[in-house]
Amino acid sequence: MAGLYVHVPFCAAKCIYCDFYSRVRQDFEPYVQAVLREIAERRDELKGVPPTTLYFGGGTPSLLPAEALARIAKALGAAFVRTRPAPTGPLFEEFTIEVNPDDVTADKAAAWRAMGAGRISMGVQSFNDDHLRWMRRRHTAADAAAAFGRLRRTGFDNLSLDLIFGFTGLTDGQWLENIDRALALQPEHISCYQMTGRYADPDEERCRRQYNRLQERLETAGIRQYEISNYARPGFESRHNSGYWARTPYLGFGPGAHSFDGNRCRSWNTPDIDAYLRTRPGGQEQLSDTEVLEEKLMLALRTVRGLDLDSLTPAERACLKQTTLEELSRVGKLIVDAGRIRIPAAELFVSDDIICRLIPASA
């Protein structure tokens, strides 16, 4: 399995919470041409492993004209997928586009569907209009519901909604209302992220309570947690993002995009669109043994399934302290069973602290 990611660095306005690389500008065509050049230059990098997923993220991919997204998707298919013998059906087993509700017109939705996209991830963030204005979002709660309906009518049967909790001013009651309004739309997938940085709620106990109530509400609705921030109806887990947590290879295109060879090499493009348009500078690093182990722990233990101990080398297993595993298991912070270790759902909110205790000091 391998994945392709395209970073679209454009936004109509900058939201207060976002730390992903983006710029408020609309010089789309030079960007598209630069991405097409990058695809042509890198077509041999996956070494015969055809990618199964394509993900347009940002920024705001839905700002781009649909025909521009289609050109990029077609070039990626020609460069990386058409090399396999006689492909049939969709080029990608999962093709996701991130969208903002205010960009979802009937024409765009139809064009996304026509280019092969089967999954849409919509950034709602809140169903409270006061909070949306404070976040500098461009849509209202009514806009989000209308956009969702538009996507359904276009034939999309794999829709994901993003929500944010744990920010200053969000009450427990408002958070539960947000969850319930999202559930009323009957999405296949929900991603929920805790606010970080300047606007994060300093009351950790309230944040944890909001997280735990989210888990309870979605579980009751049949939307199962499969990763710290992600929940899905069975069979609708994000295959692309799951590849990140499993450390499978992926190529990232566009300014600020990252790539991984599935082993030790991580590389990236500069997060500067002007430099990207000129010469596409970037960098790379080779992970050490201890960094590889640290990644395996941090990524696998983000997931509900946890870490298969057989996926570690003998040297990596020797680095895990049995006493630490036993202690964390004894106090209910870790479950060790049938050759796997995982963090109980009730403790995922403090997973960083648990994982840090497992990382060997030399890492």
pLDDT tens, position by position, 209-235 = 999 999 999 999 999 999 999 999 999
Average pLDDT, stretch 340-361? 92
Quote the pLDDT of residue 20.
64
Instruction: Report the share of the chain in percent with pLDDT over 90.
Output: 86
Comparing C-alpha atoms, which of 182, 167, 175, 160 is closest to residue 134?
A: 167
Quote the pLDDT of residue 215.
98
Report the predicted TM-score, pTM, of the whole model to 2 decimal places: 0.95
Is residue 85 pLDDT above 60, yes or no? Answer: no
E strand segments, the chain? 3-8, 53-58, 94-99, 119-125, 159-165, 189-194, 224-227, 230-232, 250-253, 258-260, 265-269, 282-286, 307-308, 335-337, 340-342
pLDDT digits (tens, 9 = 90+) for 109-135: 999 999 999 999 999 999 999 999 999
Average pLDDT, stretch 148-173? 98
Cα–Cα dist 35/238, whole Å = 24
Cα–Cα dist 211/348, whole Å = 9
Quote the pLDDT of residue 60.
93
Torsion of CA 357, 358, 361, 363, to 10 degrees: -120
Domain residue extents for the chain: 3-244, 306-363
Least confident interval from 44-53, 173-182, 253-262, 285-294: 44-53
Is residue 89 pLDDT above 70, yes or no? Answer: no
Q: Does domain 3-244 have CATH number 3.80.30.20?
A: yes
Q: Are 68 and 75 in contact (CB under 8 A)?
A: no
Cα–Cα dist 233/24, whole Å = 35
User: Token digits for 15?
Assistant: 């939201």
3-state secondary structure of 53: strand
CA distances in angstroms from 225 to 44, 83, 215, listed in the order given: 36, 36, 7
3-state secondary structure of 31: helix
User: Token digits for 342?
Assistant: 């995982």
- 81 vs 270, residue with greater confidence: 270
Taking only Cα atoms into account, the Rg of the chain, rounded to an integer number of angstroms, comes to 21
- 304 vs 323, residue with greater confidence: 304
Is residue 86 pLDDT above 50, yes or no? Answer: no
- Write down the mean pLDDT value for the chain: 93
Comparing C-alpha atoms, which of 213, 237, 246, 220 is closest to residue 346?
A: 213
